[in-house]
Amino acid sequence: MTDCLFCKIARKELDSDIVHESDDIMVFRDINPAAPLHVLAVPKEHVASVDELTRDHAGVLSEMLIALSTIAGREGTDGGYRIVTNVGPDAGQSVLHLHFHLLGGRAMAWPPG
């Protein structure tokens, strides 16, 4: 998708603070961090949200989650961390390209607001 913000970041047409990259995924720091550690993992292929996933995405999904776990370990989240994805307006999804937030470095409340 030419106009999608995260597609542009994945194609490096827009600058981002890249933490990890492979052929299929990109992980970059959130521009407006909600925790000391806040990165976003996205597939390079445009997928709007979890609602568009099929079994064919199993590989890229596991790659994103394993990359986030590795980053959490590397960046010192001894007390734990949270991985979350928002789907649709009620959840507050503001960018319509699948992304997993990794949040860490502080205590978090549950349930989220």
Q: Which of 23, 32, 56, 80 binds ligand AMP (CB under 6 A)?
A: 32
Question: Which candidate, 112, 25, 19, 34, places its Cα nearest to that of 74?
Answer: 19
- Does 95 sit near ligand AMP (CB under 6 A)? yes
**CA–CA separation, 51 and 72 (whole Å):** 26
Beta carbons of 39 and 17 less than 8 angstroms apart: no
21 contributes a contact to ligand AMP by CB under 6 A: no
Measured distance CA(113)–CA(48) in Å, rounded: 23
Rounded least distance, CB 14 to ligand AMP, Å: 6
- Whether 97 is a known active-site residue: answer no
Q: How many residues interact with ligand AMP (rule CB under 6 A)?
A: 12
Tell me which residues touch ligand AMP (CB under 6 A).
5, 16, 28, 30-32, 40, 86, 92-95
